[in-house]
Structure 1
């Protein structure tokens, strides 16, 4: 008789969430969806959105876009991957390394290997995995060779000195945070940044440094494709122009009285 393996169904649950504002202020539907995602995601915290299944089981009607805004309020708890799947940055650390501030994935360990395979298959930026500091490959004599001790080989996607300077600042920032970049992470980040202009790539890196993020993320676009920075700049220009018009009107009025 075939015996099903229910090992993956047994997971830790963070009971402290019931005392955190971001969670208790969400509607019951969204609280259930958050729990559902953590229960149904794969071993590494990657979930393929299936809102129809959730709604069929719970009878709740939810909006994934609205949910993302709620759950990521104040902290990035879900990252939407390029393949459309969702990734929980803190899932691996909470489930398998909860008593450690940092951890490594040892690829001669079956569980660690399965975690890495999922991350790699879904093109997850390893820098976004909370707590992960290195991926270690076993050598022929079965000793652990740590990527973090190897010198990074950087193939810059842009030759401009401005970009190289900003990316090197990113490397130093990650080291200062005790979250050094791995070779795989650097390679994937270069592939990601290559899809932007030099100026946009620099802006992406600088935004992550400024906000203390561990990964690099697409620029947010609002107002029919106009970037937030451009919108703020245009708004400031409009305010300055209105102020100049007001001063000019007052000056003309004062001269008229004179």
Structure 2
């Protein structure tokens, strides 16, 4: 008569483990930078939180994809916008947020940046008409009446919104430049720069120390805006 073979404790455990389906163990999320060299409070916070590390890595991946999709001149402008974003995210540890948790706020900031980068529309259409965005906000340019062009802009200081700008205006395109006169006597000049739109604020004639009426203290709508999908 044959008897079933019995296994000792260790052998039985090994046999049971080998019979189980293999389960892949996910590696901890890694940010886009070396955590051993993390210097700022934001970088250290990202390294200590898996969700933040993943969000940072997502931004880096999408950002590189967009750099490769843009022409070299526009890519350099996007590098400048990204540098401004990296500086602005440090403000999550600044004053003015009350009982808000910096890590939660930082996650929202990172997700918003990934959404912005993901929403860039490539290739950009010709001309100025369309929807444009950068780290500070949105620019909409639409055909107006009688051959004119209407614009609407809403920008704010990233993260803190310490200043906010909001304006609408109408102008005409002459030699590729759209000039919009503003009620305070100033003007905006908009023109294409590669696949982006460059906005320049022009002070009223004779005024050197000028702050736009449509902005809060130290606010500005000047800068480079990139092609994006319409905001919902």
The TM-score normalised by the length of structure 1 is 0.25
Which of 1 and 2 has higher RCO (CA within 8 Å, sep 6+)?
A: 2
> Could you say which structure has the higher strand fraction?
2
Report which of the two structures shows the higher radius of gyration computed on alpha carbons.
2
The TM-score normalised by the length of structure 2 is 0.27
